[in-house]
Amino acid sequence: MRERLPEYLKRPIINTETTKNVRMILRRHGLNTVCENARCPNKNECYTKNTATFLIMGNVCTRNCKYCNISCAKPEPVDELEPQNVAQAVKDLGLKYAVITSVTRDDLMDGGAVYFKKCIENIRELSPEIKVEILTPDFKGDKNSLDTIISAAPDVFNHNIETTKNIFRKVRPQGDYNRSLEVLRYIKANSEIKTKSGLMVGLGESFEDIEETFVDLKNVGCDILTVGQYIQPSKQHYPLGKYYTLKEFEYLRELAKKVGFKHYQINPLVRSSYMASDMA
């Protein structure tokens, strides 16, 4: 039997004129969000603030990470008009800070790096004052793809490590822990872009494992850290190890501070793009 969700992980259903307006704008431009597709618990809170995290290049993924609610299947061709539509939605929503993520597209030559660049360019053309954060896959560690990202100069580059080293291959069988670290290191070493990464807890890791990952991220120059509780989307997904208590999250914040992070969001419902503008 699945463990009952603690009260501090529950969120009320919110349906206001603002949340309806956000949904309407997204539908009008034919856009996906990670809020909807990944069943983010903070979706309604973010919608009430007139914001959403855009999910580009479709809503199916070429990888099958065991924790993720996004489907793994053969992707559709990329919509060439999507960067323009994202930029228009950003303007229509009146955003001052935009967050763009994507499914993993291993079927594309550059993993989709050029589409991130096009989104950034289109946003800045329509709304030059907006800051842009991107949350990308690892692009198989391809340096040319990473150079494309660097040339687009996002304000923040986010690539999530997602979990600790000792269970990484179980949770992310098509990923590579060291490759993810190298992606963050390469961006930091070759640009002035702020780097960010995050992980979930509750997958069976120990506090020692978490500290090791914090240190590894700090050692590759990661500026911003996010940590939140894993919530199993269904019985078919990776099993829940435990729900961390609020006191344990307090300990993780102290751990991040001890390792040397100055900017971090560590709470049960934190997700990588949650309150991203405040962190940046």
Residues 151-163 pLDDT 10s: 999 999 999 999 9
- Among 42-56, 64-78, 223-237, name the most confident range: 223-237
Residue 262 lies in a domain: yes
CA distance 222 to 160: 11
Task: Look at residue 157 in the predicted model and tell me its pLDDT.
Answer: 98
Q: Is the pLDDT of residue 7 over 90?
A: no
Residue 181 lies in a domain: yes
Short-list 144, 52, 35, CA closest to 98 = 52
Residue with tokens 């890791």: 205
CA distance 127 to 90: 8
CA distance 239 to 234: 9
* Alpha-carbon dihedral angle through residues 59, 18, 117, 42, given to the nearest 10 degrees: -60
Residue 205 lies in a domain: yes
Between 45 and 181, name the one with better pLDDT.
181
SS3 content of the chain, % helix, strand, coil (to 5): 40, 15, 45
Q: Is the pLDDT of residue 278 over 80?
A: no
- pLDDT bin (cut points 50, 70, 90) of residue 22 is confident
Residue 106 lies in a domain: yes
Number of structural domains (the chain) is: 1
Residue 1 lies in a domain: no
Q: For the chain, what percent of residues have pLDDT higher than 90?
A: 65
pLDDT digits (tens, 9 = 90+) for 71-116: 788 888 999 999 999 999 999 988 889 999 999 999 999 999 999 9
CATH number at residue 275: 3.20.20.70
Residue 2 lies in a domain: no
Residue 145 lies in a domain: yes
Domain containing residue 11: 7-279
Residue 195 lies in a domain: yes
